[in-house]
Structure 1
Amino acid sequence: MKHPGPAESVSPPPAATALFGDRLDRAEAYYSLLAGDGVEHGLIGPREVPRLWERHILNCAVIGELIEPGAAVVDIGSGAGLPGIPVAIARPDLRVTLVEPLLRRSEFLRRAVEELGIDVRVVRGRAEEKVVREAVGGADVVTSRAVAPLERLAKWSAPLIDAGGRLVAIKGSTAVDEIDRDRVAVERSGIGQLHVEECGGAVLDTPTTVIVGTKRAGAGASRARRERRSRRAKEKG
């Protein structure tokens, strides 16, 4: 099956211009990477190509409206770079790190970041691993998309989030049900104030549904401090 290359790319919808502005060329280049190498490497299904803009790139980029300027953002289970790369393109003020355990996917991410010319770090590993916590802990926001049920997602994300920081997880129609089912377990992880928000209503026909939670002050703080001190010591050494 032939997949669209750069010359065959579907023209970006008006929402793309609104979201990416003068960085639209980077978003178009990312589209081409997903439609080409992303499909060839099994990161994106061939049937998703016609709806890459609406269902994947724009659907992810709009969560930037929930993130404060200059925030440190960690995207866990990043896969093909969703939502981290669209957010980084739309919001160059953010400090974005992509966390992905699989070698093939992490190599794709490193290549994509280099080709797109965006200031994004790629860390290979699982969010629950100590080495990853030491590398990226203390984030203002941890994002994810279709990674795991909310209970597991919170357990992996909470150690990476600084006190007062937030979990921002893209979900679908199950968002409210997941909160009802997993609220107690998520709160045990140190994340409270769970609620659903919709992003992109001003530019998308179908807004993106997101679960948002806030890391309580003191929840896991001592471990996070130890890991930050360890990381800083290594950087100085």
Structure 2
Amino acid sequence: MSAEAEPLEAMPAYVTELFGDRTALAQRYAGHLATTGVEWGLIGPREVPRIWTRHILNCAVLAELLEAGDEVGDIGSGAGLPGLALALARPDVSFVLVEIMERRVEWLQMVVDDLGVENVRIVRARVEELVDEEMFTVVTARAVKSLSTLIEWTVPVLAPEGRILAIKGERAPEEAEKAAKLIRKRRLEGPVFHRLGSEHLDVPTTVVELRRR
């Protein structure tokens, strides 16, 4: 069977626990990732058999770290990971999906329109261009540059007491150590490391949390 023909991963039972009455929307989102997401080059065809566990759930588990009423800026949103997955899991939180590439922005808008998600805005820009235009209580990012670069980019749009929640891999402590001087310089508290979804995911999600003083 060719990579293009590989089937979408079966929906884990954990999806219902995370998405509740928005489970059907999460399923439609997974369907987009597996079809138009591959066609538009946002997801590799070999990722289709693990779209739920490796991508959607890997991001959605971060929902427990958000607070009702948060204004979240998802930096380098790409295929909506983690921003759109979180928006489906947390309808009580507002999200701005920040993405510079036009093709990705068009895809995100198509998917958001199809899903009818109302707690999402899409902004085509670099986050550095949003200073004085946007202010977020939380910034999220997944596989976007180093932690040091992410701090430099996002602190100017982070509200007082705002938080950076960066999805990182096993090298998260190493990245945090390299960013230690910058963390102090930018008056951030942390890092705090979270391992999320360990009961349901073969590879738990590692999140680095920093808070602006």
After TM superposition, is the score higher than 0.5? yes
Alpha-carbon offset, residue 171 of structure 1:
0.2
Alpha-carbon offset, residue 4 of structure 1:
6.7
Query: Where does residue 181 of structure 1 map in the other structure?
Result: 178
Q: Could you tell me which amino acid in structure 1 is paired with residue 127 of structure 2? A: A
Distance in 2, matches of 1:191 and 1:87, equals: 24
**Residues 4 and 36 of structure 1 are in contact (CA less than 8 Å); yes or no, is this contact kept in structure 2?**
no
C-alpha RMSD over aligned residues:
1.7
1:171-220 per-position Cα deviation (integer Å, ceiling 9, x unaligned): 0011000011111123323323212111223433332100100012xxxx
Query: Where does residue 168 of structure 2 map in the other structure?
Result: 171
Distance in 2, matches of 1:98 and 1:183, equals: 28
Alpha-carbon offset, residue 14 of structure 1:
0.8
Q: Could you tell me which amino acid in structure 1 is paired with residue 140 of structure 2? A: T
Query: Where does residue 73 of structure 1 map in the other structure?
Result: 72
Q: Could you tell me which amino acid in structure 1 is paired with residue 32 of structure 2? A: L
**Residues 20 and 89 of structure 1 are in contact (CA less than 8 Å); yes or no, is this contact kept in structure 2?**
yes
Q: Which 4+ residue blocks in structure 1 deviate beyond 6 angstroms?
A: none
Structure of larger gyration radius = 1
Query: Where does residue 134 of structure 2 map in the other structure?
Result: 136
Correspondences of 1:115-154 after superposition (within 5 Å): 115-119=114-118, 120-129=120-129, 132-137=130-135, 139-154=136-151
Q: Given the two structures, how large is their TM-score scaled by the length of structure 2?
A: 0.94
Distance in 1, matches of 2:93 and 2:5, equals: 30
Distance in 2, matches of 1:54 and 1:126, equals: 29
Q: Confirm whether residue 206 of structure 1 aligns to residue 188 of structure 2.
A: no
Using the aligned pairs only, state the percent identity: 45
* 36-45 or 192-201, larger mean C-alpha shift: 192-201
Identify unmatched segments of 5+ residues in structure 1. Answer: 217-237
Query: Where does residue 20 of structure 2 map in the other structure?
Result: 21
**Residues 83 and 140 of structure 2 are in contact (CA less than 8 Å); yes or no, is this contact kept in structure 1?**
yes
**Residues 200 and 207 of structure 1 are in contact (CA less than 8 Å); yes or no, is this contact kept in structure 2?**
yes
User: 3-state DSSP class of the match of 1:13?
Assistant: coil
Q: Could you tell me which amino acid in structure 1 is paired with residue 134 of structure 2? A: V
Query: Where does residue 196 of structure 1 map in the other structure?
Result: 193
Q: Given the two structures, how large is their TM-score scaled by the length of structure 1?
A: 0.84
Query: Where does residue 43 of structure 2 map in the other structure?
Result: 44
**Residues 8 and 48 of structure 2 are in contact (CA less than 8 Å); yes or no, is this contact kept in structure 1?**
no
